[in-house]
Amino acid sequence: MKNIFFLTCLTLILFTSCKSKNLYKIEGRQIAVTDSLKSNQSIEDYIKPYRIQINKSLDSVISYAKDTYSKRDGHLNTAIGNMMADAVYEESNPVFKSRTGKEIDFVLLNHGGIRSIISKGNISTRTAYSVMPFENSVVVVKMKGTKVQELVDYLVREQRAHPIHRLQIILDEELQLKSATINGETINTRKTYYVATNDYLYNGGDRMTFFKPNDSLHVLDYKIRNVLIDYFTKNDTIAPVIDDRFIQIKQ
């Protein structure tokens, strides 16, 4: 309380002092952070052991990729996107079920959220940070079937490889919706579904406005990056493929 009183008094004194001296403008200049700035050796020495430990942790091998996977390797679905959606379901569904007794019906992520390739060979913790450098976390939204239909309509319009799991969309020759199913069943507009996504999309990212309004929201406090780390750790080899979860049927 004394500290608050002291800071309040100090602020008033500075404001009064500045006012009495007719100070109306504050000027500054930008100092670019470049190699010309000399490092402080004492700070470098202090940070060094922590940097070594962090790098050691980030570079520790936790899995192996059988091939190189990129978000550009497919049109309507990609191997890396499929892997991410699968990982979110496999790692998040047990958490969600233990808290609610319910199951996640399907997963939707965003194509643009995949920020790096996964190169053939060893996968480290650093790989997960490269693929998902953002702080996005998993949320589960309870949505009416009518809102889920809006979600499907959005994906059909976009025709972009947004990662999905347990949702299958089939387009006809004219790229129009032929069928959409959740875990093999046609979408029921009178039913409610639990949809796992990330907080960025839930808040309208990538123009995905269909998540609101909704029946309820469950925040799992589980970062997508940590989902990937857990998934890689549990699977000593990953070999995702482009499949039929979002495809166009041609005659």
What are the beta bridge partners of residue 141?
195, 217
Tens place of pLDDT per residue across the chain (251 aa) = 444 444 444 444 444 555 445 556 777 777 777 777 778 888 888 887 778 778 877 889 999 999 999 999 999 999 999 999 999 999 999 999 999 999 999 999 999 999 999 999 999 999 999 999 999 999 999 999 999 999 999 999 999 999 999 999 999 999 999 999 999 999 999 999 999 999 999 999 999 999 999 999 999 999 999 999 999 999 999 999 999 999 999 87
The CATH classification number of 61-248 equals 3.90.780.10
Gap between the terminal Cα atoms of the chain: 77
145 vs 142: CA distance, rounded Å: 10
128 vs 116: CA distance, rounded Å: 9
Look at residues 53, 25, 75 and name the one whose alpha carbon lies nearest to residue 248. Answer: 75
Task: Report pLDDT for 5.
Answer: 45
82 vs 93: CA distance, rounded Å: 16
Q: Are 58 and 229 in contact (CB under 8 A)?
A: no
236 vs 47: CA distance, rounded Å: 33
Task: Report pLDDT for 13.
Answer: 45
pTM over the 0.85 mark: no
CA dist 87 → 71, 200, 227, 232 (Å): 16, 18, 7, 9
- Write down how long the chain is: 251
